[in-house]
Chains A and B, each alone.
Chain A
């Protein structure tokens, strides 16, 4: 594997419903460390499946996939890989409603053997970074959509991942809040040098990335 690459994928294939639905049909992809890549394509093209494969949320049927030096085709428990290397941002924030904002950000840290004090300090620092210092004890239901998504970004950053995977991060937001989230993500990429892979169907959003990949019928369109 090329040391500059953080993601290397060769001939990746994945189908669902006992082979009746082909989601990925031979994907070849390389992403360099610190790159900001957007993945676009129509609904059902396989872009979210590809993102799930990179984040080890799903396993490939065939092919090779290596992320941050982890061979994801090996059949071992990949929860530690997800905990150490990946930060997910979903279209819906998916925050836990009965926990406060700061407690939601602490959730990924349970697997990191940190003391309660260390967890709290790290979560508060991230919320400050996201401009939410005055909302740390609020419940998610007391926040606006944009604020909730910023909490979700703080949660994604909690474990200091090497890759942020964002699946339609502005999809459920109005344009103003969507723009704010994109600025946060771009700042994150530029300042923290984190690798950012974002799935979107919005070409304006995709154009913010260094490189745009289009997925069509389970293949990368060249």
Chain B
């Protein structure tokens, strides 16, 4: 029998207690993993939105807490177009309306002549062609969820809009909503003359940083430029809040899981006091006893990590099956699973240290006398 074999065998002596401890820790890990999968999906969708149509960067209102709160004068589209190095720019109004079961149905208004900047691919029907016609194109996911097809209509703000095409972008946020003319979107939202953001495409060989700097220098009081997800996080507190919440939950899971592990391992050490005395009597060094108990704690929490990751993924699948597939776009990245394991490892080490230290420092005669 190897020492590792002994460490793996020991934690499951008292199966009920160990399983309860594993479940307690696994729930924390599952929360971290599920939240990580959702957050990564949200980041990925947001990044896709920022890079829509191969635009090189996005311009939005400065000093806002969330991307959706951005509101800038449409006049800025022409001003941006005049900037050296800019090849094209289009103003986009993004709004959220509750439709059916989806409280976050996305409506995107855009100049029909510049639809190419949105990188949408019309898979059936055609794109809307004029600013005035009460028409829209619907995302594939939205069409599936609302059971709509070309020729049907969608009522928005008491006005019927004809669905002239179905599109796909690969971005869940966009595929779960509709594109329509900017004028129609502004009318629905009562935001005439306003856009949420401006997609900017630069000339070949032009330098993004120089152009964004030039825009910030000229219009910095009203506008900010976002060329990457990192840029967005510095202006959009929504993603930062989710990130912070994710870490706070991780910390909470470490604390709660750690207390659970301390309790489980202290009980285990108490029960095995005589055994620890025997191990000392047969010549085991303190550090071997410390390694054994700490190792048992880590085995327990890593097992909980595996269970927690499975629970997290299953939870996401259940949420998707409950009709949230149009809202959540899960991203199963290695990073999220590693984070789950890292938290499990930290819980094991933090929670196991005190019981292990205690066990390793038990006086042998006292341990052997323990009833």
Which residues of chain B from 246 to 301 have a CB within 8 Å of any chain A CB? 274-275, 277-286, 288
Chain B residues near A158 (CB-CB < 8 A): 282
Cα distance A173–B1 in the bound complex, in angstroms = 29
Check: A175 CB closer than 8 A to any chain B CB: no
- Contact stretch, chosen from B37-45, B135-143, B323-331, B362-370: B362-370
Which residues of chain A from 108 to 132 have a CB within 8 Å of any chain B CB? 108, 110-111, 116, 119-120
Report yes or no: B3 in contact with A110, Cβ–Cβ below 8 A.
yes
Chain A residues near B364 (CB-CB < 8 A): 57-58
Report yes or no: B285 in contact with A79, Cβ–Cβ below 8 A.
yes
Check: B2 CB closer than 8 A to any chain A CB: yes
Check: A99 CB closer than 8 A to any chain B CB: yes
Check: A77 CB closer than 8 A to any chain B CB: yes
Chain A residues near B204 (CB-CB < 8 A): none
- Given A108-B282, A111-B283, A159-B283, decide whether A58 and B363 contact each other with a Cβ distance below 8 A: yes
- Contact stretch, chosen from A83-91, A191-199, A200-208, A214-222: A83-91
A57-82 CB contact bits vs B (8 Å, 1 = yes)? Answer: 11000000000000000000101111
Most buried by B among A55, A96, A110: A110
Chain A residues near B218 (CB-CB < 8 A): none
Check: B10 CB closer than 8 A to any chain A CB: yes
Check: B114 CB closer than 8 A to any chain A CB: no
Count of interface residues, chain A, beta-carbon cutoff 8 Å: 33
Report yes or no: B2 in contact with A57, Cβ–Cβ below 8 A.
no
Check: B9 CB closer than 8 A to any chain A CB: yes
Q: How far does the Cβ of A212 sit from chain B's closest Cβ, in whole Å?
A: 24
Measured CB to CB, the nearest residue on chain B to A167 is: B368
Report yes or no: B1 in contact with A106, Cβ–Cβ below 8 A.
yes
Report yes or no: A82 in contact with B1, Cβ–Cβ below 8 A.
no
Check: A52 CB closer than 8 A to any chain B CB: yes
Report yes or no: B280 in contact with A98, Cβ–Cβ below 8 A.
no
Check: A179 CB closer than 8 A to any chain B CB: no
Check: A103 CB closer than 8 A to any chain B CB: yes
Report yes or no: A88 in contact with B9, Cβ–Cβ below 8 A.
no
Check: A94 CB closer than 8 A to any chain B CB: yes
- Which of B1, B9, B13, B281 is close to A57, meaning CB atoms less than 8 Å apart? B281
Measured CB to CB, the nearest residue on chain B to A111 is: B283
Chain B residues near A116 (CB-CB < 8 A): 1-2
Cα distance A203–B3 in the bound complex, in angstroms = 42
Q: How far does the Cβ of A88 sit from chain B's closest Cβ, in whole Å?
A: 5
- Given A94-B274, A110-B288, A116-B1, decide whether A82 and B282 contact each other with a Cβ distance below 8 A: yes
Cα distance A82–B283 in the bound complex, in angstroms = 5
Report yes or no: B13 in contact with A80, Cβ–Cβ below 8 A.
no
Cα distance A155–B284 in the bound complex, in angstroms = 13
Report yes or no: B368 in contact with A107, Cβ–Cβ below 8 A.
no
Report yes or no: B365 in contact with A58, Cβ–Cβ below 8 A.
yes
Chain B residues near A57 (CB-CB < 8 A): 280-281, 364-365, 368
- Given A97-B13, A98-B9, A116-B1, decide whether A107 and B282 contact each other with a Cβ distance below 8 A: yes
Chain B residues near A86 (CB-CB < 8 A): 281, 283
Cα distance A113–B363 in the bound complex, in angstroms = 25
Q: How far does the Cβ of B17 sit from chain A's closest Cβ, in whole Å?
A: 14
- Given A99-B9, A116-B1, decide whether A94 and B283 contact each other with a Cβ distance below 8 A: no
- Which of A52, A80, A99 is close to B283, meaning CB atoms less than 8 Å apart? A80
Q: How far does the Cβ of B143 sit from chain A's closest Cβ, in whole Å?
A: 59
- Given A110-B288, A111-B284, decide whether A98 and B278 contact each other with a Cβ distance below 8 A: no
Chain B residues near A77 (CB-CB < 8 A): 285-286
Cα distance A199–B282 in the bound complex, in angstroms = 18
Report yes or no: B284 in contact with A79, Cβ–Cβ below 8 A.
yes
Q: How far does the Cβ of A162 sit from chain B's closest Cβ, in whole Å?
A: 13
Q: How far does the Cβ of A122 sit from chain B's closest Cβ, in whole Å?
A: 12
Report yes or no: A159 in contact with B1, Cβ–Cβ below 8 A.
no
Cα distance A103–B8 in the bound complex, in angstroms = 14
Report yes or no: A119 in contact with B9, Cβ–Cβ below 8 A.
no
Chain A residues near B13 (CB-CB < 8 A): 97-98
Cα distance A110–B1 in the bound complex, in angstroms = 9
Cα distance A155–B275 in the bound complex, in angstroms = 13
Report yes or no: B288 in contact with A98, Cβ–Cβ below 8 A.
no
Report yes or no: B281 in contact with A55, Cβ–Cβ below 8 A.
yes
Cα distance A6–B277 in the bound complex, in angstroms = 25
Chain A residues near B279 (CB-CB < 8 A): 107
Chain B residues near A84 (CB-CB < 8 A): 283
25 contacts between A and B (CB under 8 A): A57-B281, A58-B364, A58-B365, A79-B283, A79-B284, A79-B285, A80-B285, A82-B280, A82-B282, A92-B274, A94-B278, A99-B6, A103-B1, A103-B6, A107-B278, A108-B283, A111-B283, A111-B284, A116-B2, A119-B1, A120-B1, A155-B282, A156-B282, A158-B282, A159-B283
Closest 8 CB pairs of A and B: A83-B283, A108-B282, A82-B283, A57-B364, A94-B278, A88-B281, A79-B285, A103-B1
Taking Cβ atoms with an 8 Å cutoff, the residues of B that contact A are 1-3, 6, 9-10, 13, 274-275, 277-286, 288, 363-365, 368
With contacts A83-B284, A99-B6 known, what are 17 further pairs, Cβ within 8 A? Answer: A55-B281, A57-B365, A58-B365, A79-B285, A82-B283, A86-B283, A88-B278, A90-B368, A97-B13, A98-B10, A98-B13, A107-B282, A108-B283, A110-B288, A111-B288, A119-B1, A155-B282
